[in-house]
Chain A
Amino acid sequence: MNSGFGSPALDAASRLMTPFMLMFGAYVVVHGHDSPGGGFQGGVIIAACLILVRLVRGRAAGWVMPPETAVVLLCTGAGIFAGVGLLGPIFGGHFLDYSALPLTLAPAEVRAAGSLAVEIGVALAVTGVLELIFDVLVEARDDA
């Protein structure tokens, strides 16, 4: 899929929607504590935005994320999750025990901050995996 669908109407619509989709995705990620949402949902919205641009404009879009970048994103997300989990034992708690983090906040807020970091990691991983799967499946040619 190098060309995309690319009609002018689709192009205009996707240009109009893209910034709002990205912003809504980021909102859903960081607001997951207080409203329906979280890392999975926000990551899916961001990935849907990237895939929309890719579908409409094809490879001509300046937005094409190469599979290598998607893999980096994916592993960064999983690494953030595991890293935040490992901060627990480093500061004298248990694995994935966010209350051990040395932040000067109320105990519940410390745990909320830890799980926010984890949610951001999850969002990166979900964005990366959806983008990677889409890219890999689209690029596959049936050259049997």
Chain B
Amino acid sequence: MIDSLDASTVQYLQAAALLLVGLYGIIARSHLLRKLMAMNILQVAVIVFFIALSTKFGATVPVVPAAATAGPIDPAAYVNPLPHALMLTAIVVSVSTTGVALALLIRIRRRFGTLNEPALLDRLRE
């Protein structure tokens, strides 16, 4: 459990809160477009969490200045580049999946005339 409320705990709790908000939207909202927005919030929660994992105290951005390339490079001086690279791909994937989802929503709306989930289920049962 949490002993004290310091900056790092706050950062984890922020990611957890975003995750819960996203999940709540996906489960409880009945409009499909709102579910999609909630899915994006959930993705942001994951991205925030990973970026929080990449930080190091006393370290700078993972771009080695030209002056420092001659000698050995100290790993403690630069933040972890791996989560940055992974989240870069995750952001682009989230944009393209959002595009696919919007296309599907447009198609559903064309076919059934509504995006409200209960109404959609009624239309499907007919």
A residues with CB within 8 A of B: 34-36, 38, 40, 44, 126, 129-130, 133, 136-137, 140, 142-144
Asked if residues B103 and A136 are in contact (CB atoms below 8 Å), the reply is yes
Asked if residues B113 and A144 are in contact (CB atoms below 8 Å), the reply is yes
List CB contacts (< 8 Å) of B74-94 with chain A: 88-89, 91-92
| Tally of A-B Cβ pairs under 8 angstroms | 37
B residues with CB within 8 A of A: 61, 63, 66, 88-89, 91-92, 95-96, 99, 102-103, 106, 109-113
Asked if residues B106 and A140 are in contact (CB atoms below 8 Å), the reply is yes
Asked if residues B92 and A126 are in contact (CB atoms below 8 Å), the reply is yes
Asked if residues B96 and A129 are in contact (CB atoms below 8 Å), the reply is yes
Asked if residues A142 and B103 are in contact (CB atoms below 8 Å), the reply is no
Give, as a whole number of angstroms, the nearest-CB distance from B62 to chain A. 9
Asked if residues A35 and B102 are in contact (CB atoms below 8 Å), the reply is no
Chain A residues, Cβ within 8 Å of B89: 40
Asked if residues A142 and B88 are in contact (CB atoms below 8 Å), the reply is no
**How far, in whole Å, are A130 and B96 apart by their CA atoms in the complex?**
8
Q: Which of B66, B92, B111 is the most central at the interface, judged by chain A CB atoms within 10 Å of its CB?
A: B92
Chain B residues, Cβ within 8 Å of A137: 99, 102-103, 106
**How far, in whole Å, are A35 and B103 apart by their CA atoms in the complex?**
35
Q: Which residue of A lies closest to B100 (CB)?
A: A133
Asked if residues B109 and A144 are in contact (CB atoms below 8 Å), the reply is yes
Q: Can you pick out 21 interface pairs between chain A and chain B where the beta carbons lie within 8 Å of each other? A: A40-B88, A40-B89, A40-B91, A40-B92, A44-B92, A129-B96, A129-B99, A133-B96, A133-B102, A136-B99, A137-B99, A137-B102, A137-B103, A137-B106, A140-B106, A142-B109, A142-B110, A144-B109, A144-B111, A144-B112, A144-B113
Asked if residues A130 and B95 are in contact (CB atoms below 8 Å), the reply is yes
